[in-house]
Structure 1
Amino acid sequence: MSTIQTQVPIIKKKFVLHEDWAVVVLGFLIILLAIGGLLLPEPDCNWQNHSALVETVLVPANLLAVFYHFLYAFGIAVLGAVLTNKSFRSILVVFPVIYMLTVVALVLAGNAQVKNLNLEAVIFALSIGLLVSNLFQLPDWFRSALSTELFVKIGLVLLGTSVIFSDILKAGSLGLIQALVVVLSVWYFAAWLCRKLKVDDELTMMISSSVSICGVSAAIATCGAINGDPKKLSYVISMVLITAIPMMIFMPYIAHYFNFPQEVTGAWLGGSIDTTGAVVASGSLVGEAALKISTIVKFSQNVLLGIAAFAISIYWTYTKKTGPDGEVTKPTLGLIWERFPKFVIGFVVASLLFSFVVPGEVNEAIKGTLKSLQGLWFVLAFTSIGLETNFKDLIQKNSRTPFYAFLLAQLFNIFITLIIAFFLFGNMEAGA
């Protein structure tokens, strides 16, 4: 009688890093490479007419810079796929497509007339992605290879390098006081209003954060903190960008009509307009003092982003007591840590690093490269959102009610910020 011996194969468990930790690793890899001297030439996407497009954007030197950025971002994306155990073959095919569509979006946004309207590259990236997704039947393997969350969170970690505490402290305490009061009051009003209008919880959190803190970046960070639906995020971002344009144009003229002091106007613009680009543009229409104060107030709100994402993640854990399978869960410290968005750690550490550790001359030398890469990852993310979204779903799943809630919250933001700006900055000119 023979004995059959069976050998159980030893299966080595493959190392897989959680996506939130992977983006911290990848973000700091980019930062350390920049500090170490790997500075990429920034592609020039700015043009006024057809001849300028050919002579500046499409010249070989600029196209080579675009190619260098592709190789760099491609390497990071491939490493991200390896760390998170995504399909290596798929990313080799999908990422070049995403990058080419993203370059088209950046070039469209670089047109002078488009810049005057303050239409940012993310809205072109989202639109192009939606067109491709709805005109062509993309295979499932292509959609599954899209790394939207990875791209967004890498951009958020890099965003921390531009939030410099010393720049904010130079303005004194007034900008920080206004930012804190505006953020708290507007956030709670927007959340209350959304609940009254029966807006779903994910959209409520994204709308409240985008209106009260810093627009696009706050919506992205909140979506990451609550692990929200990227399609809802694209809806909120569209609302932010659409409303920023008329605010940027009309608010300076309203201030001029009522003879608001420049300091008050600057604080009003910086505290209520949701995108940094629109704040700078509107502040420039008023004057130098308004531009300075508006920028400081907007930076003061930006610095609250990491704190807000941390608070939102804890709030979300305590209010959402059901797990993915519907089971009731208790909000223990372990659960809070499990649900806590780890990219916030990367954002805060990057901000502290560049505020107190990295020498000023080094920061000055590398900030252009980091800013360019930060913007690139955000635009790549919105191209990906468009590619994975059906346009009908985007319209049907999100009714007009969230848009009405957003507009009413923004109207409250405009009035409460003006009152606070007069209270804090009204006597600045007289006391100067």
Structure 2
Amino acid sequence: MASKTFELSEDWVVVILGLAIIALALFGVIVPKPSFNWSDSETLQNTVLSQKNLIAMGAQFVVVYAAAILGAILLKKNLKALLIVFPTVYLLTLFALVLAGNAVIKDYNLEAVIFSLAIGLIISNCFKLPTWFKEALSTELYVKVGLVLLGTTVIFGDILKAGSLGLIQALLVVVSVWYFAYWVCRKLKIDKEMSLMLSSAVSICGVSAAIATSGAIKGDTKKLSYVISLVLITAIPMMIFMPYIAQWLNLSQEVTGAWLGGSIDTTGAVVASGSLVGEEALKISTIVKFSQNVLLGIAAFFISIYWTYSKSVDDETKKEKPTLKLIWERFPKFVVGFVFVSLLFSFVVSPETNDQIKDSLKSLQGLWFALAFTSIGLETNFKDLFKQDNKKPLYAFIVAQTFNIVVTLIIALALFN
């Protein structure tokens, strides 16, 4: 009788890769963080394209390329295709990061992910990419490795620093808005997968929440890119107009900051809008937004449990009692890696060590996410994002975001007035 071949699932491979990158940093192999900030051709040449910065970019490439190769070997994927495709994806992503680093672009708070996605979409819709190229794209793996690394930033001590009022508001907003958004989605007969991603994006922290939820439920990358497009498009007008609405309503800086931090989905847009109001508004908005970001890991964990359980009682297996074993088999294991890393950096890694390596790991985390968005663009047909049957999620997002704005204002007035 032939022995059963042992195979690692993608989630366990993700945990291995994420922990390996973190272990390198903890043992002193700290990958330098490259700078992508520039304002004119001179600073572009002397800063971004300087020898020192190019070496930092090269060091990051070596780490992520080695991780991608190891992942392909462990998952028994086409290594020959990956050796060609990954450097291509990296170069496109690098171009997006440089574009996003421009001072004018930064003033508009346009994040690197939107350029990564746009570049991928342009290429995939203007050129016919070969099947072997698309099959070598490992979008989910890149997203999940980034999420494991995200655990290094969710520190228990920082949660306490966020302030009790910020945490109370974050909890009230996240719970109420998430359930309302999910209810609206289900009333409009939007599928569960899209409903979960959209509800998390509106209620928690935009792009990061959509990514985390997609990873937790192994969501469709086309649906993820659609939700991200909605988040990024709506964040800009909210960032511009909400400070003026707050002024018209004669709100204090504290209330305005709490309102902005709880309503606007992207951190960059929150900082920009808070800056338009004043120093106190900026401080409060940042605390509230950080408090919501802290809840991301907790939300992803419970969404994983819900999704795993609901999948275990779907139409195919509704007659089968959902045992703990079945739930564990379907549970996304990368969440275990995220929680482990968060606990490790909260209670084991010293603050001094964390200060030395946090910038490096955060930069690598952002790179993995950017690589994922480039990959999403390369495997997505642009017309699929805005076709007829995608109007219901758009309506649901607008309704949920409006509810978010109103409820957050009421809570901000109650807590910070």
Query: In 1, are the aligned partners of 2:213 and 2:300 still within 8 Å (CA)?
Result: yes
Which residue of structure 1 aligns with residue 87 of structure 2? 96
Offset of residue 57 of structure 1: 1.8
Question: For 1:345 and 1:310, how far apart are their aligned partners in 2?
Answer: 9
Offset of residue 322 of structure 1: 6.0
Offset of residue 288 of structure 1: 2.3
Q: 1:269 to 1:159 in 2, by over 3 A?
A: same
Which residue of structure 2 aligns with residue 393 of structure 1? 384
Which residue of structure 2 aligns with residue 419 of structure 1? 410
Which residue of structure 2 aligns with residue 255 of structure 1? 246
Q: 1:339 to 1:321 in 2, by over 3 A?
A: closer
Offset of residue 13 of structure 1: 5.9
Query: In 2, are the aligned partners of 1:161 and 1:350 still within 8 Å (CA)?
Result: yes
Query: In 2, are the aligned partners of 1:266 and 1:291 still within 8 Å (CA)?
Result: yes
1:281-430 mapped onto 2 (5 Å cutoff): 281-321=272-312, 326-328=316-318, 329-396=320-387, 398-426=389-417
Query: In 1, are the aligned partners of 2:162 and 2:290 still within 8 Å (CA)?
Result: no
Which residue of structure 2 aligns with residue 429 of structure 1? none
1:197 and 2:188 are equivalent in the alignment: yes
1:125-144 mapped onto 2 (5 Å cutoff): 125-144=116-135
| SS of structure 2 residue aligned to 1:344 | helix
| SS of structure 2 residue aligned to 1:304 | helix
Which residue of structure 1 aligns with residue 168 of structure 2? 177
Which residue of structure 1 aligns with residue 156 of structure 2? 165
1:22-37 mapped onto 2 (5 Å cutoff): 22-37=13-28
Q: 1:346 to 1:318 in 2, by over 3 A?
A: closer
| SS of structure 1 residue aligned to 2:386 | helix
- Which of 265, 268, 274 pairs up with 1:274? 265
Question: For 1:330 and 1:394, how far apart are their aligned partners in 2?
Answer: 37
Offset of residue 298 of structure 1: 1.5
Measured against aligned partners, the alpha-carbon deviations of 1:308-353 in whole angstroms (never above 9, x if no partner) come to: 1222122223434566x94545432222212212121222222222
* Paired letter, 2:335: V
| SS of structure 2 residue aligned to 1:399 | helix
| SS of structure 1 residue aligned to 2:76 | coil
Which residue of structure 2 aligns with residue 70 of structure 1? 61
Q: 1:109 to 1:12 in 2, by over 3 A?
A: farther
1:217 and 2:208 are equivalent in the alignment: yes
Query: In 2, are the aligned partners of 1:168 and 1:296 still within 8 Å (CA)?
Result: no
Question: For 2:246 and 2:133, how far apart are their aligned partners in 1?
Answer: 50
Question: For 2:271 and 2:362, how far apart are their aligned partners in 1?
Answer: 16
Query: In 2, are the aligned partners of 1:310 and 1:340 still within 8 Å (CA)?
Result: no
Offset of residue 294 of structure 1: 1.6
Question: For 1:13 and 1:70, how far apart are their aligned partners in 2?
Answer: 36
Question: For 2:72 and 2:11, how far apart are their aligned partners in 1?
Answer: 13
| SS of structure 2 residue aligned to 1:389 | coil
| SS of structure 1 residue aligned to 2:305 | helix
Offset of residue 399 of structure 1: 1.9
Q: TM-score, normalised by structure 2?
A: 0.95
Which residue of structure 2 aligns with residue 51 of structure 1? 42
* Paired letter, 1:344: V
Aligned-residue Cα RMSD (Å) equals 1.8
Q: TM-score, normalised by structure 1?
A: 0.92
The percent of aligned pairs where both chains have the same amino acid is 69
Query: In 2, are the aligned partners of 1:313 and 1:339 still within 8 Å (CA)?
Result: no
Segments of structure 2 that go 5 or more residues without pairing to the other structure are: none
Query: In 1, are the aligned partners of 2:312 and 2:326 still within 8 Å (CA)?
Result: no
Measured against aligned partners, the alpha-carbon deviations of 1:252-277 in whole angstroms (never above 9, x if no partner) come to: 22222322122211211111111111
Segments of structure 1 that go 5 or more residues without pairing to the other structure are: 1-9, 427-432
Question: For 2:373 and 2:149, how far apart are their aligned partners in 1?
Answer: 17
